[in-house]
Amino acid sequence: MIFLKTTPFLAAKDPGPSTRVALFGCPYDGTSSYRPGARFGPSAIREASQVLESYDPRTGSDLEGRDFCDLGDVEISPGDKADALSRIREAARKVLDMRQIPAALGGEHLITLPLVEAVLENYPDLVLLQFDAHLDLRNKYLGDALCHATVMRRVCDIMNPTRILRVGARSGILEEYEFARRYGTLNMTTDGSGLRDWIRDRPLYITVDMDVLDPAFCPGTGTPEPGGLTYCELETRLSQLQGVRVVGWDVVELAPHWDPSNISSIVAAKIVRTLLAITTVC
Amino acid sequence: MIFLKTTPFLAAKDPGPSTRVALFGCPYDGTSSYRPGARFGPSAIREASQVLESYDPRTGSDLEGRDFCDLGDVEISPGDKADALSRIREAARKVLDMRQIPAALGGEHLITLPLVEAVLENYPDLVLLQFDAHLDLRNKYLGDALCHATVMRRVCDIMNPTRILRVGARSGILEEYEFARRYGTLNMTTDGSGLRDWIRDRPLYITVDMDVLDPAFCPGTGTPEPGGLTYCELETRLSQLQGVRVVGWDVVELAPHWDPSNISSIVAAKIVRTLLAITTVC
Amino acid sequence: MIFLKTTPFLAAKDPGPSTRVALFGCPYDGTSSYRPGARFGPSAIREASQVLESYDPRTGSDLEGRDFCDLGDVEISPGDKADALSRIREAARKVLDMRQIPAALGGEHLITLPLVEAVLENYPDLVLLQFDAHLDLRNKYLGDALCHATVMRRVCDIMNPTRILRVGARSGILEEYEFARRYGTLNMTTDGSGLRDWIRDRPLYITVDMDVLDPAFCPGTGTPEPGGLTYCELETRLSQLQGVRVVGWDVVELAPHWDPSNISSIVAAKIVRTLLAITTVC
Amino acid sequence: MIFLKTTPFLAAKDPGPSTRVALFGCPYDGTSSYRPGARFGPSAIREASQVLESYDPRTGSDLEGRDFCDLGDVEISPGDKADALSRIREAARKVLDMRQIPAALGGEHLITLPLVEAVLENYPDLVLLQFDAHLDLRNKYLGDALCHATVMRRVCDIMNPTRILRVGARSGILEEYEFARRYGTLNMTTDGSGLRDWIRDRPLYITVDMDVLDPAFCPGTGTPEPGGLTYCELETRLSQLQGVRVVGWDVVELAPHWDPSNISSIVAAKIVRTLLAITTVC
Amino acid sequence: MIFLKTTPFLAAKDPGPSTRVALFGCPYDGTSSYRPGARFGPSAIREASQVLESYDPRTGSDLEGRDFCDLGDVEISPGDKADALSRIREAARKVLDMRQIPAALGGEHLITLPLVEAVLENYPDLVLLQFDAHLDLRNKYLGDALCHATVMRRVCDIMNPTRILRVGARSGILEEYEFARRYGTLNMTTDGSGLRDWIRDRPLYITVDMDVLDPAFCPGTGTPEPGGLTYCELETRLSQLQGVRVVGWDVVELAPHWDPSNISSIVAAKIVRTLLAITTVC
Amino acid sequence: MIFLKTTPFLAAKDPGPSTRVALFGCPYDGTSSYRPGARFGPSAIREASQVLESYDPRTGSDLEGRDFCDLGDVEISPGDKADALSRIREAARKVLDMRQIPAALGGEHLITLPLVEAVLENYPDLVLLQFDAHLDLRNKYLGDALCHATVMRRVCDIMNPTRILRVGARSGILEEYEFARRYGTLNMTTDGSGLRDWIRDRPLYITVDMDVLDPAFCPGTGTPEPGGLTYCELETRLSQLQGVRVVGWDVVELAPHWDPSNISSIVAAKIVRTLLAITTVC
C-alpha cells in the first residue's frame, strides 16, 4: 500500500466519491541543511489539529462535514532522495487521477517539486504562490542541485518563472535575488492588492513554508529567519484567496521538535484548517 | 488552615487591617482537555514576580507599600472537582468577609465559577470582563457540563449574559457564537472605545485567561490559539481600567511547563502586577 | 463508535477472528496529583513503537504476524471521572466478550480499576502483579477515595488483597505499608524466585506503572521516585512471565512531555512489545 | 531580616525551642565555571519535596513531626562573592548559636566554605565527609583562589586535610590528586567498611555535591561527570551514617534548569529527606 | 595568548592590515541576578550565524569580503569580576591600538563598562546609544555597585550622562527614572526622528541588550521584560545608523539555554550581521 | 580547503610532524530514519570537552601535551550522500597519508563506511570492534542499501565478516542476526575475556555508536534502544584496549538536541578523551 495509516486530521472524512481534497503526509527531510526534523511535521500537525475547533468564526465555516479525507503518510526511505520524490509524485498523481486536490503536509520544502510536477501534468497553465522567508532559487547549494534551497529554481525549470509570486521573502543570495527580479515577480506588495488580478482565473498552487512567519510565531522550523509575518498577517493573506481556483497546496518545513512549547504545530494545523476551508465545500 | 504557605508574590505585605487586595493561588486543572499543568501556575507566577521591578514606569506606581497580601494556595484535591470548587468558593468568601478584593492565581479557567459565585453574593449588580481566546460558552464539552470549556456558560446561569463583555475571543463552536451574539456582547471593539461607558459605575470582575495573548507571547498555556493579542495590546486594555471599581479578578490558564523559556510566567506575573496596581492604593 | 482511530502500534493487525490481544488507549489523567500529562501516553507509545524492530533477539520472537490488533483510543471526557472509568470498563468488557485479552495503554494508574473490574467478571480467581514504585493503597488521598494514589486499595475492595503481589514498591505512607504487610504480600523478593509458584495456574493480570523504573530510565512519568529498577531488571522480570496465563494487562503513568529526550516513551513501547510477545502467539 | 520567606520544605515545622535542624537556602552560584543556575537549587528542592511522602519505608521513619524547620533563603547579592559568603557564614552562626544543626541547600559548592568556618568555631575537632565527583582541591582555578573548584583546598587551609574523607571522587588535575594522596584520604573504599571507624565519635560535617551521582541520575548539575554513583548507592552510603554525630550538612550544585524532566530536583529532595531523617528525632 | 580560538562568525576573514572591525567574545555573566548563562552567548551567536546568508537583501550588502575578523573569546575567570573586566578592557585596547573597531559578543551587560572605558581613551567625545529594556542606572543593586543593573550608572561616572540615549527602555526603579529624566535623555522618540541630529558627527558606541526585544522575539535572555520591540522594529532602528561614525559596539545578554528553540541566538546573530554591515566596507 | 575551522577539542595541539592522531568532524546525518541531528555531534562534543579535565585519574594520563590535533570539520552537503561519503573518505586518506590515525566525530553511523574504506587501503588485515546497540547488518532498509542501518553489511562487503566483533548489540531483524551468527562473531562475551586474544596483533578499527549505552546514560542519540551498557561498563571495555594497535576510530550517532540536559555530549566527549588517551603518547 502506498499510504501508511495515521491518526487523521481533525474532522477528516473517510475517502469516498465526494472527496474533494485529499490530505497526505510527506515525512521527508533528507536535504535539510541546518535543523532537520521536518519529517515529524505530518504527525505533529495531525495531533495538534485536535486542539482546534472545527468551526472558524472569521469565516463562519465549519470543517465538520466538509468533503476532505486524510490518506495517511506516503512511505518514505529517508536516505534515498530520488525514490522519496518519486513516491510523493506518485501519491499526488493518484489523488489527481481521482479528481481530488492534493494537499500535502511536509516534510521539507523539496517535496513541493514532485507535487508541482504532478499538478502541472493536469494544469499546464498553473500559477504558484510561495509563502516563504527564502527564495529557494539557488542553482546549487553545497554542491547539490536538488535540495530545499534550490527547490523553486527546479520548479522554474518546469514552469515559467513569471508564473510564480512570493509572499514574505526576505533571505537569499545575490544570485537568487537577481534571478527573481529578472522575472519581475519578487514579492507580492504588502497590502495584497492585485493578488486576484495577478491570478485571474488560472489554476493556483499554494506552497506555505512555515518559515514565512517570524520565528516568534513559529520557532519550530528548519531555518528560522527573523523579521517575518505575524500569524494574523499570514491568515489575512490566505483568506484573500477564498474563491480562487486552488488545485493543489502544501504546508512544509514544520520541524516540531525545535519548539518544545509546540505552538508551531498548532499554528501549522490552523493554517491547514484555513486552506481546507478555502478548498472544500460542505 | 485553609491556605498553604508559599513564597509570596513580589512586595506582598503581611495580611492586616489595611489589606485591600488578597492574592491566593487556586492550583486546580482537573478538567483541562488538551495540555494540563495550570496547577503549577500560582507557584510559577510568584517565582517569576521576582524578576520584575515593583515600580511601573508607565503609570509611575510602585507595588512596594501597596495594600495587598498573598495568602498562599488553597489546598486542592486534584481529582475531586466538586470539592475543589467548593474550597475555592470558601476562600473567596473568607476574603470578601474581610472586605478585601479576592485576586486569584489559576489554575484552569473553571476556577472563575466559584470565584464569581462568591463575589455575586456581595455584588449582585456585578459586570464581568473576560479576556480570553475562547468563548467558553459550550453547554457541555465531551459530556461534561462543568469544565474549562463551559465555565462562562455556567456563569451565565447565575448572572445575566448581557453583563459579560469579551476581549480577544477568536475560537468556539457555532453554538457558542450564537449564544454570545444573542446577548449582544460578543467582543469589545478593538479600540476599546466605550468600555467605561459600558461598565458605568457597576462593580467589575476581571478574568484574564492567558490564552487571550497570541501563543508567541504566551506559549505556556493549556489551549494556545494562534491570532491573539500582543502583550502591549493587553497591557493597554488593562490600563484603561484604571479608576474602575474592580471587586475581584483572576489570572488563569498559565501552564508553565509547556514553555521552557519561562517567558509566559513572567508575562503572567506582569499582568498580575498591573492588576494589583489598578486595584490597590498606597 | 467507542474507539477513536489512531496511528496503530508497531505491527498491529486489523481486528479479526484470530485476534488474541486487543490494545487500546485510555488517555485519562484527571486525578494526577503532581505532574499531569499521562493522557498523552497512548499516542506517545504508539509513535515511539516505530523506532523498535518487531524482532526481539532475546526471545527470538517477532511481532510481525502476531495475533494482536490496536483498537485506537477510548474517547474520554477529562473532567468527568465516573464517566471516564465507565467507558474504560465498557471497552474492556467489549474486548473480553470477543474472547480477547484487554491490553490498555494509560493514562494514569486509576484506569487499572475499571480494567480489573471487567476482567474479574470473567476470571473470579484472578491474581494481580503490580510493578510500581508506590503502593497506591491509601484509603483516601487529599480527600479523594478514587484516584491514582488509592487505586490498589479500591482493587482490594473487589478482590482479596492476598492475591496481589508487588515488584519495585518503595514509597507510601505508614498506613499503606501496614495494610500491605497485613496481607503478607508486600514485595516480590528481589531474585524473582517463587513467582511462578505464587501464580500457579491462576489467571494473571499485570499492571506496569512506569515509575517502577528508576527516574534515570523513565523520567517521563507523573510521580518519579528515585531508587527504582533499571530497564534490564524490569525486562528480566517480565520475561520470567513467559508461559503464564495472562488474561489482561496495562502499562500506565507514562507522561511523555516531562521527558523531552523521549526515551521514556521508547522504554514504554519496548515494555509493551515484551508484553505482547508474552501474550500472543504467531 | 536575614532570611527571605519561601515555600517550606515538606513537613517542616515552625522554628521553636525544640528545633534541632534548621534548613536554609543559599542561592549563590557566582563562580560556576561551566553551567550556572545552582542559585535556583533551594526553590527547586523545596518544590520537589512535595512529591515525596514524609514516610520512608527503608527506615520506617516519618518526617512528619520531626524537629526541623525551614528558615527560608539567605538574601544573596549574586555579584558580590565576599558579601555572599559572609552572609552565609552569619546565617550558619545564627543557627549554631541557637544550638541547632545548620543544614544548607545550595547553591554552588563554594558555600560549603563559610558553613564549615562557622561549624568549626563550635566543633574544632570536626571531620568532613565529601560526596563529590571532583576533588575541588585546586589552589587556583582560572586565576581565582576562591571558587567552586578550590573550595575544599580552602577548607584544608582551616582544618587538617587528614580529617576529610571522600566518596565518589573521579575528576581533578594531577596537582589535586597528589594533594589528596599526600594526606592519605583520597576516596572511601567502595564497600563503606571502616567509615564509622574513621569517624569514631568525632562531630561530622557532610557535604553532598549532587554531581557525585552519575549524570543519568542527576543531569541537572553544573559540571556533570560521567561514571558516578547510582542513586541507590548514594542512599546506601548515607544510611550508613545513621547514629553518627552529624553537626552540619549541605546539599549543593543542583542546577535544576539543565534538567527539564526535573528528576534531579526530586533526587536532591529525597537526599535532603534522608539527611533530615538521620539528623532529627521525633 | 589573550584570545581563545573558536569557530569563527560567518564570513569572518583572518586578521590582517585591512581589518576594520574585530569581533571578540566576552563570555562573562558573574553578576546575573536572575537567569545566568550569558557566558554561552558568544559561541551560540557564532554557531547560529551559520544559518544566515551573508547577503542582506534589505541593504544589498554582502558580508563575504567585508573587512572584519573574529579574534575568538577573551579568556575569563567566572568568579573574579575585577579580573574579568580588566581582561575585557585589555582586549578592547589591543583592538583599538590596531585602529580597529572593537565589536564584542556578550556576556552580560556589565562587559559594556570596560569596553566603553577603552573606547573613551581614544574618543573622549563619545556618545552612546543603548538598546535595552532596563535603564541599568541603579547606584547599587543588592549591595553591589558594579553589576549588570548598575552598569550604565558606572558609565555615567566616566562620561556625561547627557551623551547617552536609550531605545526601548521600559523597566527600572524610581531612582533610575529620576536620574535619566534629570539629564533629559530618557528614551529616543518612537519614530526615530532626530537620531542623526542628536548624534551629529560625534563618534558613537552602540550597546544592544537583547532584552530590548519583546520576550516573544528573544526568550533566551537573562531578564526578559514583556512589552518590547519586535525584531523588525529593532532592525529598522539599527539600519537608521548606516553612515554614522560607529567606533565600537556590543551585543549582550543572550542567554541561549533559556530558549531551546534557539531563535534567540539566530536573532542575535542577525543583529550582529546588521551591525557588521554598518561598520565595515567591502 | 577540505576542513572547516572550528573550536578545537580540549587540549588539541596544532597539526605538526609529531601529530599521531588527527581528529576531524563528519557532520553528516542524511539517512537517519528516526531522529536526525547527528550532524550537530562534532560541535557538541568539542564544546562539551571544555567541561572535562585533561587529566584522567583512572589511568594517570593527561591529554595536555599529547600528540593529537583537531583538523575541524569536513565540509558536507547534507543532501548529497555520495558526495558526502566521498569527502569523508578523502579526509581519512589525507590523514593516513601523513601517517596519522584518523579519528572521526560523527555524524551518523554511515560515515564509518568511507572511513573503513580508507583505513583498509593501508591495513588490509584490519579487524573491527563495533560498540553498538544495533547490528546495522541489513542488506537494504526502506529500499536503501546505503544507510545507517546497512552500514556494517556494506563494511562486510569489503572486509571478511569474521573480522568484526561487537559489544552491546541488542537490536536487529532476524536476517541480521542470522548473518552475524553465520560468521560466529555476534557479541563479545560480557566479561571481555579473550578480547586481546581475538585481536592478537592485528591493526584495529574501533567504532563507537553512542546508542550502545543505555538511553539513561545517553538519551541524545538517533535510535535509543533500552537495555544498554552503563557508562562505567563502556569505559571499562575501552580501557581494556590500552596497548592494542589502534589505527583508526570514530564516535558516532550523538544527536545532541534530543538531550536538553546535554549529558550525552559530555559522555561522548569523555569517550573521545579515553580513545585519545589510548591512541596517543605524550
Distance CA A140, CA C216 (A): 45
User: What percentage of chain A reaches a pLDDT higher than 90?
Assistant: 80
| Three-state DSSP class for residue D206 | strand
Copy the grid coordinates of residue D18: 525544640
Provide the pLDDT confidence category of residue E30 given band limits of 50, 70 and 90: confident
Q: What integer pLDDT is reported at residue C75 of this predicted model? A: 92
Tens digit of each residue's pLDDT (9 = 90 or more) over A163-205:
999 999 999 999 999 999 898 766 665 455 678 888 989 999 9
The strand pair at A3-4 and F246-252 is best described as: unpaired
Least confident of B143-152, B197-206, C103-112, F27-36: F27-36
Residues F149 and F33 sit within 8 Å (Cβ to Cβ): yes
Question: pLDDT at residue C190 above 70?
Answer: no
Q: What integer pLDDT is reported at residue F193 of this predicted model? A: 63
Closest chain D C-alpha to C172 CA, distance in angstroms: 6
Tens digit of each residue's pLDDT (9 = 90 or more) over A30-68:
888 788 899 999 999 999 999 999 999 988 889 998 999
Question: pLDDT at residue E189 above 80?
Answer: no
Predicted ipTM?
0.95
Beta bridge partners of F101: F21
Distance CA F226, CA C235 (A): 10
Which chain F residues have any C-beta within 8 angstroms of a chain A C-beta? 29-33, 35-37, 39, 75-81, 83, 110, 141-144, 146-148, 257-258
Distance CA F102, CA F120 (A): 12
Tens digit of each residue's pLDDT (9 = 90 or more) over E211-253:
999 999 999 999 999 999 999 999 999 998 988 999 999 999 9
Question: pLDDT at residue B1 above 60?
Answer: no
Identify the CA nearest to F236 among candidates F197, F203, F263, F274.
F274
| Cα A204 from chain centre | 12
User: What percentage of chain D reaches a pLDDT higher than 70?
Assistant: 96
Provide the pLDDT confidence category of residue E59 given band limits of 50, 70 and 90: confident
Which H or E run contains C164? strand C164-167
Q: What is the CA radius of gyration of chain A?
A: 17
Q: What integer pLDDT is reported at residue C139 of this predicted model? A: 94
Q: What integer pLDDT is reported at residue C35 of this predicted model? A: 86
Q: What integer pLDDT is reported at residue F188 of this predicted model? A: 61
Q: Are D224 and F266 an interchain contact pair (Cβ–Cβ within 8 Å)?
A: yes
Mean of pLDDT values over E176-201: 78
Domains and CATH numbers, chain E: 3-279 (3.40.800.10)
Q: What integer pLDDT is reported at residue E186 of this predicted model? A: 62
The model scores a pTM over 0.90: yes
Q: What integer pLDDT is reported at residue A21 of this predicted model? A: 98
Copy the grid coordinates of residue E86: 580588566
Q: What integer pLDDT is reported at residue F131 of this predicted model? A: 97
What single-letter DSSP state applies at residue B39? G
| Three-state DSSP class for residue B237 | helix
Q: What integer pLDDT is reported at residue C209 of this predicted model? A: 98
Q: What integer pLDDT is reported at residue D188 of this predicted model? A: 61
Closest chain C C-alpha to D216 CA, distance in angstroms: 5
One DSSP character per residue, chain F reads --EE--PPPTTPBPP-TT--EEEEEE---TT-SS---GGGHHHHHHHHHTTS-SEETTTTEESTT-SEEEEEEEP--TT-HHHHHHHHHHHHHHHHHTT-EEEEEESSGGGHHHHHHHHHHH-TT-EEEEE-SB----S-BTTBSSSTTTHHHHHHHHS-GGGEEEES--B--HHHHHHHHHTT-S---TT-TTHHHHHTTS-EEEEEEGGGB-TTT---BSS--SS-B-HHHHHHHHHTTTTS-EEEEEEE-B-GGG-TT-HHHHHHHHHHHHHHHHH---
Copy the grid coordinates of residue A238: 490566505
User: Amino acid identity, residue B219?
Assistant: P
Query: Which residues in chain F have their CB less than 8 angstroms from residue E73's CB?
Result: none
Residues 6+ apart with CB under 8 A from D121: D93, D96
For chain C, the helix, strand and coil percentages under 3-state DSSP, each to the nearest 5: 35, 20, 45
Residues B28 and B78 sit within 8 Å (Cβ to Cβ): yes
What single-letter DSSP state applies at residue E231? H
| Maximum C-alpha span of chain D | 49
Q: For residue F32, give the nearest of A78, A83, A110 by CB distance.
A: A78
Mean of pLDDT values over C234-245: 92
| Mean pLDDT rounded to a whole number for chain B | 93
Tens digit of each residue's pLDDT (9 = 90 or more) over F232-260:
999 999 998 988 999 999 999 999 999 99
Provide the pLDDT confidence category of residue E143 given band limits of 50, 70 and 90: confident
Tens digit of each residue's pLDDT (9 = 90 or more) over D200-225:
899 999 999 999 999 999 999 999 99
Provide the pLDDT confidence category of residue B248 given band limits of 50, 70 and 90: very high
Q: Are E79 and D144 an interchain contact pair (Cβ–Cβ within 8 Å)?
A: yes
Provide the pLDDT confidence category of residue B14 given band limits of 50, 70 and 90: very high
Q: Return the sign of the alpha-carbon dihedral for residues A220, A226, A228, A232.
A: positive
Tens digit of each residue's pLDDT (9 = 90 or more) over C69-123:
999 999 987 778 899 999 999 999 999 999 999 999 999 999 999 999 999 999 9
Find, in chain B, the residue whose alpha carbon is nearest to that of E230.
Answer: B230
Residue with cell 463583555: B165
Q: What integer pLDDT is reported at residue A186 of this predicted model? A: 62
The strand pair at E68-74 and E3-4 is best described as: antiparallel
Residue with cell 486569584: B104
Q: What integer pLDDT is reported at residue B193 of this predicted model? A: 62
Spell out the alpha helix ranges (H) of chain E.
41-49, 81-97, 112-122, 151-158, 174-182, 195-199, 231-239, 263-279
Q: What integer pLDDT is reported at residue C281 of this predicted model? A: 78
| Mean pLDDT rounded to a whole number for chain F | 93
| More confidently predicted of F121 and F181 | F121
Copy the grid coordinates of residue C210: 512506569
Residues F59 and F242 sit within 8 Å (Cβ to Cβ): yes
Tens digit of each residue's pLDDT (9 = 90 or more) over C144-181:
899 999 999 999 999 999 999 999 999 999 999 999 98
Q: What integer pLDDT is reported at residue A200 of this predicted model? A: 87
Residues F282 and F106 sit within 8 Å (Cβ to Cβ): no
Which chain B residues have any C-beta within 8 angstroms of a chain E C-beta? 50-55, 57-58, 62, 214, 216-217, 230-232, 235, 260-263, 266-267, 270
Tens digit of each residue's pLDDT (9 = 90 or more) over B250-264:
999 999 999 999 999
Residues E70 and E8 sit within 8 Å (Cβ to Cβ): yes
Provide the pLDDT confidence category of residue C196 given band limits of 50, 70 and 90: confident
Beta bridge partners of D131: D167, D208
What is the interface size between E and F, counted as CB pairs within 8 Å? Answer: 12
Q: What integer pLDDT is reported at residue F25 of this predicted model? A: 98
How many residues does this entry show for chain F? Answer: 282
Mean of pLDDT values over E19-44: 92
Distance CA A83, CA A77 (A): 7
Provide the pLDDT confidence category of residue F186 given band limits of 50, 70 and 90: low
Chains that touch D (3 or more CB pairs under 8 A): B, C, E, F
Mean of pLDDT values over E191-198: 73
Provide the pLDDT confidence category of residue D114 given band limits of 50, 70 and 90: very high
| Three-state DSSP class for residue C218 | coil
Residues F207 and F135 sit within 8 Å (Cβ to Cβ): no
Q: What integer pLDDT is reported at residue C38 of this predicted model? A: 94
Q: Which of D263, D273, D274 to mutate to test the interface with C (most CBs of C within 10 A)?
A: D263
Query: For residue D65, with 0-12 CB atoms within 10 Å meaning exposed, 13-18 middle and 19 or more buried, which class applies?
Result: exposed
Tens digit of each residue's pLDDT (9 = 90 or more) over B133-143:
999 999 998 77
Tens digit of each residue's pLDDT (9 = 90 or more) over A86-107:
999 999 999 999 999 999 999 9
Tens digit of each residue's pLDDT (9 = 90 or more) over F18-33:
899 999 999 999 888 7
Q: CA-based angle D134:D138:D142, to the nearest 5?
A: 105
Q: Which of D13, D39, D47 to mutate to test the interface with B (most CBs of B within 10 A)?
A: D47
Provide the pLDDT confidence category of residue E200 given band limits of 50, 70 and 90: confident
Query: Which residues in chain E have their CB less than 8 angstroms from residue D110's CB?
Result: 79
Helix pair A263-279, A231-239: axis angle to 10 deg = 10
Question: pLDDT at residue B189 above 60?
Answer: no
Query: Which residues in chain D have their CB less than 8 angstroms from residue F217's CB?
Result: 214-216, 226
Question: pLDDT at residue F15 above 80?
Answer: yes
Distance CA A217, CA F145 (A): 40
Helix pair D112-122, D151-158: axis angle to 10 deg = 20
Distance CA F140, CA C55 (A): 16
Tens digit of each residue's pLDDT (9 = 90 or more) over B54-75:
999 988 889 998 999 999 999 9
| Mean pLDDT rounded to a whole number for chain A | 93
- For D242-280, letters b (16+ CB in 10 Å) and e give eebebbbbbbbbbbbbbbbbbbbbbbbbbbbbbbbbbbb
Question: pLDDT at residue F190 above 80?
Answer: no
Find, in chain F, the residue whose alpha carbon is nearest to that of E6.
Answer: F7
Mean of pLDDT values over E29-44: 90
Tens digit of each residue's pLDDT (9 = 90 or more) over F66-81:
999 999 999 987 778 8
Copy the grid coordinates of residue F163: 573480522
Provide the pLDDT confidence category of residue F59 given band limits of 50, 70 and 90: confident
Q: Which of F211, F225, F267 to mutate to test the interface with C (most CBs of C within 10 A)?
A: F225
Tens digit of each residue's pLDDT (9 = 90 or more) over D58-76:
888 899 989 999 999 999 8
Question: pLDDT at residue D33 above 80?
Answer: no
| Three-state DSSP class for residue A281 | coil
Identify the CA nearest to F251 among candidates F157, F115, F155, F121.
F115
Which H or E run contains C122? helix C112-122
User: Half-sphere exposure (CA, 13 Å, Cβ side) for D14?
Assistant: 2
Copy the grid coordinates of residue D274: 534522608
Tens digit of each residue's pLDDT (9 = 90 or more) over C49-63:
999 999 999 888 899
